Chains A and B, each alone.
Chain A
């Protein structure tokens, strides 16, 4: 049975041919100095930084730190900035990649946490953030878009609010990089932006990164870099400041190709494609009496996520039936964001999340809607 893949918010599939070829090509030639201080023409890392800097509106490509994942990037920032007695502001929309590092700082170091809630439309308001800030606030950590509801946050306004209080902002752009325009240079204040390489950027898993606003983030992971081996301490300049160990070179080569596909296609074009498919999904689902669809602003369809429940069916059961009986892959449950649906469901219940991306087609959506309609026929 052919699989209809509608779990693009987890990871994009299928990867563009260019990504697969770039990834595999790395294994066909001897590695040259791991891209550090070696042949410029054979350096796979700097082009990746340049492509990402152009896509994310970053002035200097050296402020793109390449890491194993967005989760790793988020941990770097939280680990460095949230110390004993620190106060952190985050939100109920966050993924565990944000919630858990903060929870560990709370448990282990006595950090305190304020979790702000979105308005009923799913949006975090700047005024809500302003009310949560304290003199001891060391970091604001917020998602750019919920991976559960798809709601896009007014990140420019939130950045202004954090900047006005002199507090750094960490933005989790895992769901938006490659799907929603991001212009880091125009975000006010000290903004760290974590991104995933294998979702909207179409790269392979195992590579992501962090945009850093300056070279002031304390180092938490240090070690070998392939350069300046005679120095006692890890280099302090960007981007090596936060990169230790042999990088994921085939992953970076694949990510570079993915970012080029995104750049060539255009983020706004991709966003329109996603929004169109989300519009079809929402329209189709809203006509089914057994479906409870969670609200979403029309413009937020660019994230590509639709969350819903079905009367008489547990989300996990729907996931099982879609996979095993219909050959459709979606995500069910809490989506690693355990508080995101509480305001909508009134409890810890999960949802069925269908998510589309650049590779998704009209036929995928039609197959999915027909399957969900079938579930109501009893």
Chain B
């Protein structure tokens, strides 16, 4: 029996008011009465996916902002360690993103690669989305988003025991101190906000999701489509280089004790901490719960963890960076990249204080503008390939080379492109000082066309747009009065990269044309 609008939440908070004028906003842990529990679950999972995506790009932006060109080798190694760890976190968020997509697929829901769905997600969004250079302030937000529940720090969750070999990096006291410090500083920075209400731990959302998905009454077994397993993203495909070292077992399958890290064994050096990208599939409710728990544990703490993988949580990584950042003079540790760069003057005019326009009005910023535009185009391609890979999973067998595998490789290729272009952007100047940054601007839609041929034509169209951007950069580089463009792209090595990218794109278009022709769309093989 569905609960009435006056139902209390498990935390005992009653819904304010009742009747037709009652506030029906989804509040913490309460679904709207016009939604089924399954729908509410899907909504939360969708929000979860979007939050993972949002966190990932914010982490990436922070990582790319780090200036590794430090004269001092000691500082260079330190900041490279920060960058490496933040990129590891971003990779792991990618794993989370894909895992959440898998649970959506399990429930028969559409995948979602968006980043925000106001007003549905404001109860869960960790902090207001903002692309910012790494700073103590941004680290505070990251830590807050990833931190564990304070009451779980000293005692594990029921039924769980902390493994000695998975000892935390920081003592319980230290963790509590950091959380208190962070919370206090955030409260001072956002004095009008009730931190506890308007900023959220990511773990809160997953607690809700896990609680609901575990509820046999609200989410019956029939809600789970076991046959969807083969359509889900596999860790073997997406995370193969980022798995932990296998543990050694004897012929009977018993872990060989000698190969277990002994209690008190020092953790690997911070800079050498690998990423462990978890992309879990689920065929059943139990597997979905397990996957979601693992995802949450990777973010915040070990108390939910079931294995002995010796890797720091996201929370621990950010705390480490935070503590180190405090000890160094931050002046030259990050590039002077802007907040929320945008290539759109219209959007900048809407939010002039929150965004930084990288435009074409000044010749010394033109190169940055077009590279930022190129970044957006490749970002969109990446998201399209990701979405397409899930669509193709329905059609192609897994045991032989197929377009699904090829699209997956394309997605990886676009990740490399984003890395490369971001690296160029933070070296390109803006008019008036400072450097550019990767804008990560979302396209107007991520929806894929209905027919397979049209999806390929969409990819081709996006590549054509990218090729046009590259050509335009070269055209301007040769144009009179645009010497700055030429100087900047040559000075950063952007010219070499663009030529290489254009060559790859020519090959890609050729590839797509063959595929489209194979779909019987010969007449559409040329744009």
Interaction A to B: no
